[in-house]
Amino acid sequence: MEKKFSYEPERVAHDLYAIPVPLHDGSPVNAYIAIGDDGLWLIDGGLMEERSQAVLGAGITRLGYTFPRDVRGLLITHGHIDHVGAAQAVLDNGGDLLAHRLEATEGRNINFDESWLAHHGLPEEAMGKRDRWRPFTWPEPTKLLEDGQQLRWGNLELQVVHCPGHTPGLVCLFEPQQKLLFTTDHVMRRAPAPVSVRNVGHDDPLRDYLDSVRKLKPLDVQTVLPGHGRPFHHLTHRLDEIETGIQRQLSNVLEVLREGPATAYEVLERTEVLDRRPIATRYQVSLILARLRYLERQGRLHEISTNGSIKYVLVS
């Protein structure tokens, strides 16, 4: 049975609303609307797709405003296609577009290097397949964010918390007066944050992600506002769950490699780290590569190359 989702605006704090808008499969991604004296201030702008933007506009209408006329700015937590949809409309209306400095530069390099992934075992059948991580472009920000920066956003006094991992320039936003934390895709209620290595230029995003998870622990947070799913509490407990889950994944990878050298694709086939389709996608292989890259940087394993195939071997 197909799931049904509500896209009605939901009040989550004083003069702050969440508007869930649909992704391609109908599941929601959250756009947050902060109401200020001079109009609306958005945190994330939904999917770059007509239906998603229509739902966002309809939600703003239900709040008594007009999209994009009443929108003064859009803060992009990270530059994935399901968070930047309203960017051009806001800019065309004279509004500001904010994103972290790294997200506006190296964070745009999200393309898969298929020839490089092929060396890690990606089958030819998976090459060039259309998936949700297809290339796209989003507009240049009018203002750039930095870690620790303070800004007034509608009725909110926000502190920018740079949390690389899911993307290089992802930011969370802390509102200390109301003890709110906007965590976008960095921390969600149940789903793990996708952390992947898509090309040889990526360094160690899983290490960055784990550091970013620990960075949030000292914050005095009452309510977590994620990019997908409902608000939740008990941030520290969720952060502990995330760390434990990743350590379990890493242990599973090491267990597979105890049986002998393997490509990233072979590790994916022989572990329960990720659910996968009969033929794994580029995206699924890139997730495993992030775990392998982390373990390699930790000195737990190393690469060997045989006939153009890259395999991983445990360090004895």
* Per-residue pLDDT reduced to its tens digit, 20-50: 999 988 999 999 999 999 999 999 999 999 9
Give the C-alpha separation, 112 to 200, whole Å. Answer: 10
4 occurs within a structural domain: no
36 occurs within a structural domain: yes
Domain that holds residue 178: 10-314
The pLDDT score that the predictor gives to residue 279 is 64
- First CA to last CA across the chain, in angstroms? 50
Residue 290's pLDDT band (cuts 50, 70, 90): very high
89 occurs within a structural domain: yes
CB 252 within 8 A of CB 272: yes
Coil vs helix vs strand at 164: coil
Q: What is the mean pLDDT of residues 199-221?
A: 93
Which of 131-140, 264-273, 275-284 reaches the highest mean pLDDT? 264-273
Query: Mean pLDDT score of the chain, rounded to an integer?
Result: 93
Instruction: Inform me whether the pLDDT recorded for 131 exceeds 60.
Output: no
CATH of the domain at 176: 3.60.15.10
230 occurs within a structural domain: yes
Q: Which residues, 6+ apart, have CB-to-CB distance to 187 below 8 Å?
A: 172, 193, 213, 216, 224, 226, 235, 238, 239, 242
Rounded to the nearest 5°, which phi and psi values hold at 195? -125, 120
Give 39-97 pLDDT, tens digit per residue: 999 999 999 999 999 999 999 999 999 999 999 999 999 999 999 999 999 999 999 99
Neighbouring C-beta atoms of residue 308, cutoff 10 Å: 7
5 occurs within a structural domain: no
Query: What pTM was estimated for this model as a whole?
Result: 0.95
1 occurs within a structural domain: no
260 occurs within a structural domain: yes
Residue scoring higher pLDDT (130 or 25): 25
Q: What is the mean pLDDT of residues 292-309?
A: 95
The pLDDT score that the predictor gives to residue 1 is 44
Q: Does the CA dihedral 138-140-146-151 come out positive or negative?
A: negative
Strand partners, 22: 28
Instruction: Provide the number of structural domains found in the chain.
Output: 1
Residue scoring higher pLDDT (109 or 220): 220
190 occurs within a structural domain: yes
The pLDDT score that the predictor gives to residue 199 is 84
Query: To the nearest whole percent, how much of the chain has pLDDT over 70?
Result: 95
